[in-house]
Amino acid sequence: MSRTFVGMPAFPKAAAVSTQDRRLRANLTHATHTIRDKRAKAVTELDDWAELRLAGKEIKDRTLAELDRYLLQAEAAVTAAGGTVHWAADAAEANRIVAELVKATGEREVVKVKSMATQEIELNEALAAEGITAYETDLAELIVQLGDDLPSHILVPAIHRNRAEIRDIFAQNMADWGRPAPDGLTDTPAELAEAARLHLREKFLRAKVAVSGANFLVAETGTLVVVESEGNGRMCLTLPETLISVVGIEKVVPTWRDLEVFLQLLPRSSTAERMNPYTSTWSGTTDGDGPSAFHLVLLDNGRTDTLADQVGRQALRCIRCSACLNVCPVYERAGGHAYGSPYPGPIGAILSPQLRGLQSEVDASLPYASSLCGACYEVCPVAIDIPEVLVHLREKVAEKGGAGHRLERVAMKSASWLLDHPAAYSMALRGTGLARGVQPRRVPIPGAAKAWTDSRDLPALPEQSFRAWWSKGENR
Ligand code: SF4
């Protein structure tokens, strides 16, 4: 059984700990700056990047507006191609369907292609509870699994680990999961990759069942698409006898023509590559070629609720490139685990609270895990206005109440009264001016304002108010 995000503290508490971890911050700063610089270069190579971005946004919006129609079209096409489609309303239903499909094969282990949807539903843990072992085959996911760790980045789940740590994880834990690490393993990339290759090769050759997600589902032909860099995904997609793909319903694109846009946007935004190294597509089954049984589990798990929100629904455009994580100053300092979800960073801050609801302390804290600097929006290849959704979700959190927000409401009401009474307002301004000399640099009363000033100085009060300055006529 691996670790899960269940029971994680709210973002401010988790971030207060992780921001003190100097090694984590060094690992993250190095990795995110490297990827973001490469991405910026890869994007500027294309003269029509802005048009591509707009096309990606519009295709997604058009598809989401008629999602029911495209999903039914995809279901019919997958079925006609020899696959079986299952509909899962939530994580529990999806996990039950997958566990039953695996058990029906008589197998007790599966190999997995990297998949955010299966992390979201905690499929590995659900399968383990049924006596089925899931082996991650993506290199970074393998590092997370062997280290009994949690993913901290969408694209590079082990981004918080450096090479020396990975070497130690391989040397200490590989033997518990299969072929041990070679004796005398060093932390050179080639040796680490070879150790992983040998370890995984046994699993690929033995596996009868594979579980994947998908980056896209082309409705017109019922074709699933996985893009990856290592080729491990393709081994899982072709060698086993049964393939089960768990795919969020927002992954559908109407046509191959539409897919063409995303196959240009995604590699440059994620790995800064001009073209993706391994792009695998499959439609149902083909005699004598690849898995003989194919099941597609279409997952809702909060997506239709998200779609119902006029502002928040743009989060469903996300193609999981992770560009927003790599430019986010909050993510860079707090790390991915602080978000209490497999979806960290700016996209996690708007997606997790919408998929899971705002009831928990963790989810209610996520819309505040941002400085609203807007860097995430600038780099997003499908133009998701993340700051807009963050503010929208903050409004929802505030409407729900809570101690901090009650104080905020009292403060706003007082301000509203003051602004409605000019004489009282002038008197308050004079009083503020007199307080200048004794103004503290930190708010001493426990609460959100104190937490805010624990890491920042309160700005000094000005020598005179705007009104006083204006009445002196110094501006004329
Ligand atoms: S929100 Fe945009 S930038 Fe962030 S992962 Fe999704 S597509 Fe990429």
Q: pLDDT at residue 234 above 70?
A: yes
Our answer on whether the CB atom of 321 is closer than 6 Å to any ligand 1 atom is: yes
Confidence of residue 402 (pLDDT cuts 50, 70, 90): low
pLDDT of residue 471: 84
Our answer on whether the CB atom of 382 is closer than 6 Å to any ligand 1 atom is: yes
Atom of ligand 1 nearest to the CA of 346: 4
Q: pLDDT at residue 66 above 60?
A: yes
- CA–CA gap between residue 123 and residue 104 (Å, rounded): 17
Distance in Å, CA 164 to ligand 1 centroid: 30
Beta pairing, strands 216-218 & 252-253: parallel
Q: pLDDT at residue 403 above 60?
A: no
Q: What is the mean pLDDT of residues 307-313?
A: 98
**Tens digit of each residue's pLDDT (9 = 90 or more) over 140-178:** 999 999 999 999 999 999 999 999 999 999 999 999 999
Query: In Å, how far from its chain's centre is CA 395?
Result: 22
Distance in Å, CA 298 to ligand 1 centroid: 21
Backbone angles phi, psi at 308, to 5 degrees: -75, -15
Confidence of residue 462 (pLDDT cuts 50, 70, 90): confident
Our answer on whether the CB atom of 265 is closer than 6 Å to any ligand 1 atom is: no
pLDDT of residue 79: 98
Atom of ligand 1 nearest to the CA of 319: 7
Distance in Å, CA 171 to ligand 1 centroid: 35
| Nearest residue by C-alpha to atom 4 in ligand 1 | 324
Atom of ligand 1 nearest to the CA of 325: 4
Atom of ligand 1 nearest to the CA of 317: 7
Our answer on whether the CB atom of 381 is closer than 6 Å to any ligand 1 atom is: yes
> Do residues 265 and 59 lie in contact, with contact meaning Cβ atoms separated by under 8 Å?
no
Distance in Å, CA 385 to ligand 1 centroid: 10
Distance in Å, CA 386 to ligand 1 centroid: 9
Distance in Å, CA 383 to ligand 1 centroid: 8
pLDDT of residue 460: 81
> Do residues 384 and 323 lie in contact, with contact meaning Cβ atoms separated by under 8 Å?
no
Atom of ligand 1 nearest to the CA of 322: 5
Beta pairing, strands 109-112 & 209-212: parallel
Structure tokens at 429: 């301004």
pLDDT of residue 1: 44
- CA–CA gap between residue 116 and residue 245 (Å, rounded): 12
Atom of ligand 1 nearest to the CA of 270: 8
Q: Which residue from 227, 384, 390 has its CB within 8 A of the most atoms of ligand 1, so it is best to mutate?
A: 384
Distance in Å, CA 275 to ligand 1 centroid: 18
Structure tokens at 41: 């270069």
Confidence of residue 401 (pLDDT cuts 50, 70, 90): confident
Our answer on whether the CB atom of 324 is closer than 6 Å to any ligand 1 atom is: yes
Our answer on whether the CB atom of 320 is closer than 6 Å to any ligand 1 atom is: yes
Contacts of 313 (CB under 8 A, 6+ apart): 64, 306, 307
Atom of ligand 1 nearest to the CA of 345: 4
Its sign, for the CA torsion 331, 267, 120, 160, is: negative
Lowest mean per-residue pLDDT among 9-13, 93-97, 103-107, 453-457: 453-457
- CA–CA gap between residue 145 and residue 209 (Å, rounded): 19
Q: pLDDT at residue 475 above 90?
A: no
Structure tokens at 38: 């490469």
Computed over every residue of the chain, the mean pLDDT equals 93
- CA–CA gap between residue 310 and residue 427 (Å, rounded): 43
pLDDT of residue 161: 92
| Nearest residue by C-alpha to atom 2 in ligand 1 | 380
Residue 157, judged by CB atoms within 10 A of its CB (0-12, 13-18, 19+), counts as buried
Give the chain's length: 476
Confidence of residue 437 (pLDDT cuts 50, 70, 90): confident
Distance in Å, CA 56 to ligand 1 centroid: 12
Tell me the one-letter amino acid at 105: T
Backbone angles phi, psi at 267, to 5 degrees: -60, -40
Atom of ligand 1 nearest to the CA of 386: 1
Query: At what angle are helices 403-420 and 386-400 packed, to 10 degrees?
Result: 90
> Do residues 150 and 5 lie in contact, with contact meaning Cβ atoms separated by under 8 Å?
yes
- CA–CA gap between residue 14 and residue 362 (Å, rounded): 10
Our answer on whether the CB atom of 384 is closer than 6 Å to any ligand 1 atom is: yes
- CA–CA gap between residue 130 and residue 194 (Å, rounded): 32
Our answer on whether the CB atom of 350 is closer than 6 Å to any ligand 1 atom is: no
pLDDT of residue 76: 98
> What are the angstrom distances between the C-alpha of 297 and each of 78, 90, 190, 251, 354?
11, 11, 37, 12, 21
Distance in Å, CA 323 to ligand 1 centroid: 6
Contacts of 331 (CB under 8 A, 6+ apart): 28, 32, 325, 344, 345, 346
Q: pLDDT at residue 476 above 80?
A: no
**Tens digit of each residue's pLDDT (9 = 90 or more) over 414-431:** 999 999 999 999 888 888
Q: What per-residue string of b and e applies to 286-298 under the rule 16 or more CB within 10 Å gives b?
A: eeeebbebbbbbb
